[in-house]
Amino acid sequence: MKLIAFGAKSLLLIMVLSGSILVASAQSINVVTSAVPFLRISPDARAGGMGDVGIATLPDANSSFWNQAKIPFATQKSAIGVTYTPWLSDITSDVYLATLAGYHQLDEEQAITASLRYFNMGNIQFTNINNEPLGQSTPRELAFDLGYTRKLTSKLSVGVQLRYINSKLVTGPVGNVNYKPGNAFAADLSVFHNGLDDKGQGFTWGVTLSNLGTRISYTDNAANKDYIPANMGVGGAYTFALDEDSKLTFGADLNKLLVPAMPVGASTDEQKEYYNRNVFESWFKSFGGANGGLKTVQVSTGAEFAYMNQFFARAGYFFEDKSQGGRKYITMGVGFRYNIVGANFSYLIPSGSGVTRNPLSNTLRFGLSFDLSGSKD
């Protein structure tokens, strides 16, 4: 039987399931797809208010989601952060991303981190081509990370992070296919350079390689394992110390998806070659023009104004090439800090109308952070 999933949430499931259904629908526009794309969703409210900029901004409790290597330069010895994001709120009401992250500096040179991402897609009813029910599913995905980072010099640090990924989209028989949760393992490698002077002014930059790992499968057919969203990110930020109390930071990130595209109108042999390609080869293959090339680069720019390190105002812009979905949006955000508690909020401004309306419009993120051990100073 042909599997049909009706409704907005069902469409969402098809979008995140990068198996045969998604590849077939994406061939005409050659969008580069992967499994577990929730790993590419901006996971915290601070970066969400800056157009998803996070690779080279100053460290905070959620830094391990962006650049593990930033942690040794944090002014607090230990911190945790939690964020809640209702996702696609213009379409449905029970899809959300929740994250939890924390770090602890072992000494002045090194730190450890842990984080969790949980993506819930609500309840989905499956039917066949005759609109006959095939059952329900409550798809959800999660990723758990453990990391270590260390300073190499007073200005330069490196980090490594290990990740376990579990994706439960459908379980059991649906039609003629038996589905199961998918599992994968990955690692992140990162570098950060802190060029701030004693006044807190200067240039910072970072480079990240994330989600470098195994492929994932949702069936017993080992030949159809899908790539996870390996990514290369480069970011820079400059902070101006306007006076003793005020700072203004401008930042920009470039993120390149290291996943090749399925050839348009791929033959059976071309599809077999695509699935048989090892992950190392796929990373380099993704730079070829026919596999998306530089068109898969996402651009994020943002700014943050900080007053007395207690009040924050943020704005940003995100750009994606039309061939890869064409997402373009403006974000805004605010933050407050009192004693050991911080709160961050971000908002994605609506764009488009009717069928061209951005489905991410009105996306809100809510985040709390807690400094557990006070300043190192």
**Burial group, residue 364, by CB count within 10 angstroms (0-12, 13-18, 19+):** middle
* Residue 206, domain CATH: 2.40.160.60
Give residue 197's pLDDT: 95
Cβ neighbours around 94 below 10 Å, total: 12
| Residue 13: its H or E element | helix 8-16
What one-letter code names the amino acid at 345? F
The Cα-based distances of 264 to 24, 114, 185, 195, 285 in angstroms read 9, 40, 29, 45, 16
Residue 27 lies in a domain: no
Give residue 291's pLDDT: 64
Asked whether the beta carbons of 314 and 42 are under 8 A apart, the reply is no
Range of the domain at 296: 39-123+139-371
Residue 180 lies in a domain: yes
Q: CA 241: distance to chain centroid?
A: 30
Give residue 174's pLDDT: 66
Determine the Cα–Cα distance for residues 58 and 60; give it in Å rounded to an integer. Answer: 7
pTM of the model: 0.87
Residue 264 lies in a domain: yes
Residue 73 lies in a domain: yes
Residue 320 lies in a domain: yes
Residue 83 lies in a domain: yes
Q: How many domains does the chain have?
A: 1
Give residue 307's pLDDT: 97
Helix (H, G, I), strand (E, B) or coil at 290: helix
Residue 292 lies in a domain: yes
Q: Is the dihedral of CA 167, 114, 65, 159 positive or negative?
A: negative
Residues with pLDDT less than 50, the chain: 1-28
231 closest CA partner among 253, 207, 255: 255
Give residue 90's pLDDT: 72
Residue 3 lies in a domain: no
